Chain A
């Protein structure tokens, strides 16, 4: 018990000390946050629309679309977003509504970076090439290009 009595204030002090240290480091860093990927919202200081970003090379590739379908199941996307992307735990990918943008790059970033309401960040787990194939599959949903449409 006595040790705990001593330990607690010590731990609080230790936490406070490390907190101060972190803050001083943060204050000292004045460089802008580097941004290599497309933005989701409007960019301040410009009246230009957001750049389109990279275009998915697989959009019309029939073999890649099939592969995108396979990966959509393999990585458990179908459990949240519906067997054929119609939604469920996560929003539908078959409709007109894109919460985080509808460009190829927007969809790529939603997969790679994850989103705050539960979408995991897959960028560290799925190779870029496979993400682009999944993006191509998602963009084909509810179009004549959709492989293995729901029956």
Chain B
């Protein structure tokens, strides 16, 4: 009975697709191909507007994809599940990108940091605003007309005063007719993509204790994964898994506490001895500080369909004063691999034990298959906040390489790949009461949460990099729920070399930079998009949106937008069959918030110490709330 229904249903879908591609000449072609690929091979089935991994991989590729790649729509935050931020679209090329022009712009009216990226699904673009986290649907066939609808969730205004680094949101994910995203007050909402009506809403945390939510969800099959924010307010970091259909919480995996809280069981096999043992999430914390231990999960989540594992990194340990939490402080600053169904950890690797610098490692974990020193390996790439480029075996958690990608990095000389431990420089360690001068990178990192992109054509990872350093004084702090649990006085400033930002093309295989576009004044605080047209897109804090030759680093085209770019470029096929590129222009976030009138330049210690690194930002980049769409 069931199978007959199933067959009928599949036949119906095929018929509808056939009818649609036949009646609409501009329908993106790959859809029929995607359906074929799904039935013909064992590789993961892409949804509409997606290429299978083998379809997306060009001839003579430097690496192979592991998850379907967007080829028309853009339904996950990074486009794909593996966080490559690569698009096989190739209408916009090195040859014609000079003709790129503005097609449309739209202001959502919320003049705060616009991180993340919009989604495009079936001819509609979805934008999540910063707090109050409105969801706006724009008809791509009617870009100058009124919006289709706006969903206003009205989150608790208290959340604005609990978010450490502006009231940002890093976007939504789409599946099965639902647009799913987090509100700053820790609710996850699912909205009907057609009507704009709320389908479910689930609370995942307590904003009054200082917990907030800024990260983008990842949707895998019938589950939604979200992480929390609040590492500066004594929050316990965690990943929460919800049922896509109902919003019911299925499990929660904490970043510290007893193994039962961390979801560590018999299947847990960390590669390094230092990460092996029972209840490290409590025993490696002095003063029971794990109870306010941070390790929040505010960055990107990725998924490998073949190994069936999800990957993400955790943030800084609670309180920036290392003297208050003697021990390695597991599982802060850790990359986790977990079973997506049960949430149980498969392996974990703590990058920096006993953090001294607030080096959250919530960066994107990019999953690719590639030959590594002559052997095919399943790789996880992690361009780290701490200035090193990590290559891991994502099946085991073994570190294959950890190489400096920002020269000024001086807190460690390197990593011992046998033990997995950093070779820390003692002069740069921080101690309660002392001011340690000239630590590079600063807490904001050699790279912030904004994601890099990889291209299989060049084999490069395009890293939006920072060259910022700091003086750091650790201070004892009182835990008072709902207030900052900070414990440091930090002052940041531009690093040596006459530049503070850079787009670095990193040769993954040869472990070295190939070319660099330096920004003399500000860190590069936008995400990156790589495309099959060999064009790489990124933006600057001064508001330049750029198209760059993926091979040479030549700037092929640029346009000045009204406000600094801290969002991530994305690309899609419009209803007319043409390729477009979209980007937010709206300064904010941790460093960018210095552009706001509520932060004074007379206090270099303001905004957790970033003011000294952002001189002149108010003069070049006013707050804004725009999205721009470009096309040929």
Contacts and interface: CB of A to CB of B under 8 A. Distances in A.
Interface of A: 73-76, 78-80, 82-92, 94-95, 97, 115-120, 125, 142, 150
Interface stretch (B360-368, B473-481, B563-571): B473-481
A83 B480 contact: no
A79 B603 contact: no
Contacts of A125: 480
Contact of A79 (B157, B483, B601): B483
B625 to A, nearest CB: 19
B486 A92 contact: no
B334 interface: no
Given A76-B477, A117-B161, A86 B607 contact: yes
A50 B601 CA distance: 32
A87 B158 CA distance: 17
Contact of A90 (B159, B161, B480): B161
Contacts of A95: 597, 600
Contacts of B490: 83
Contacts of A78: 484, 486, 489, 605
Contact of A88 (B158, B480, B608): B608
Nearest to A95: B600
B600 A94 contact: yes
B163 interface: yes
A82 B599 contact: yes
B602 interface: yes
Contacts of A97: 597-598
A75 B603 contact: no
B161 A80 contact: yes
A83 to B, nearest CB: 3
B164 interface: yes
Contacts of B485: 76, 79
Interface in B580-611: 593, 597-609, 611
Contacts of B611: 82, 86
B605 A73 contact: no
A146 to B, nearest CB: 10
B607 A75 contact: no
Contacts of B601: 86
A100 B597 CA distance: 16
A85 B603 contact: yes
Given A74-B478, A76-B484, A118-B162, A88 B157 contact: no
A119 B598 CA distance: 15
Given A88-B599, A89-B164, A91-B598, A83 B605 contact: yes
A38 B491 CA distance: 38
Nearest to A115: B161
Nearest to A76: B483
Nearest to B473: A83
Which of A80, A83, A85 has its CB near the most chain B CB atoms (within 10 A)? A83
B167 to A, nearest CB: 9
Contacts of A74: 478
Interface of B: 157-165, 232, 475, 477-478, 480, 482-486, 489-491, 593, 597-609, 611
Contact of A75 (B232, B483, B491): B483
Given A73-B475, A75-B478, A86 B605 contact: yes
B484 A83 contact: no
B232 A117 contact: no
B164 to A, nearest CB: 6
B163 A89 contact: yes
A73 B602 CA distance: 18
A125 B482 CA distance: 13
B599 to A, nearest CB: 4
Contacts of B480: 75-76, 120, 125
Contacts of B162: 89, 118
Tell me if B's interface is mostly helix, strand, loop or mixed: loop
Given A78-B486, A92-B606, 20 more contacts: A75-B480, A76-B486, A79-B232, A79-B485, A83-B605, A85-B606, A86-B604, A86-B606, A87-B603, A87-B606, A88-B599, A88-B608, A92-B598, A97-B597, A116-B158, A117-B157, A118-B157, A119-B161, A120-B482, A142-B602
A77 B549 CA distance: 47
Of all A-B residue pairs in the complex, the 9 with the closest CB atoms, nearest first, are A118-B161, A79-B484, A83-B605, A86-B603, A86-B606, A82-B606, A88-B607, A79-B486, A86-B600
Nearest to A90: B161
B599 A86 contact: yes
A78 B607 CA distance: 9
A128 B545 CA distance: 52
A76 B600 contact: no
- Chain B CB count within 10 A is highest, among A73, A97, A117, for A117
A84 B489 CA distance: 10
Q: Which of B484, B598, B603, B605 has the most CB of A within 10 A?
A: B603
A94 B604 CA distance: 12
A76 B478 contact: yes
A95 B601 CA distance: 10
Given A73-B475, A89-B163, A120 B483 contact: yes
Nearest to B483: A76
Contacts of A150: 602-605
B160 A117 contact: yes
27 contacts: A73-B475, A74-B478, A75-B480, A75-B483, A76-B477, A76-B480, A76-B485, A79-B232, A79-B484, A80-B161, A80-B484, A82-B600, A85-B606, A86-B603, A88-B599, A88-B606, A88-B607, A88-B608, A89-B164, A92-B598, A92-B599, A92-B606, A117-B158, A118-B157, A118-B159, A125-B480, A150-B604
A91 to B, nearest CB: 4
A125 B159 CA distance: 21
A84 B603 contact: yes
Contacts of B482: 120
A87 B356 CA distance: 24
Contacts of A85: 600, 603, 606
A73 B606 CA distance: 13
A115 B165 CA distance: 19
A117 B599 CA distance: 16
A101 B604 CA distance: 25
Contacts of B489: 78, 83
Contacts of A88: 164, 593, 599, 606-608
B575 to A, nearest CB: 40
Given A87-B598, A89-B164, A80 B483 contact: yes
A63 B192 CA distance: 60
A75 B162 CA distance: 15
Contacts of B157: 116-118
A92 B600 contact: yes
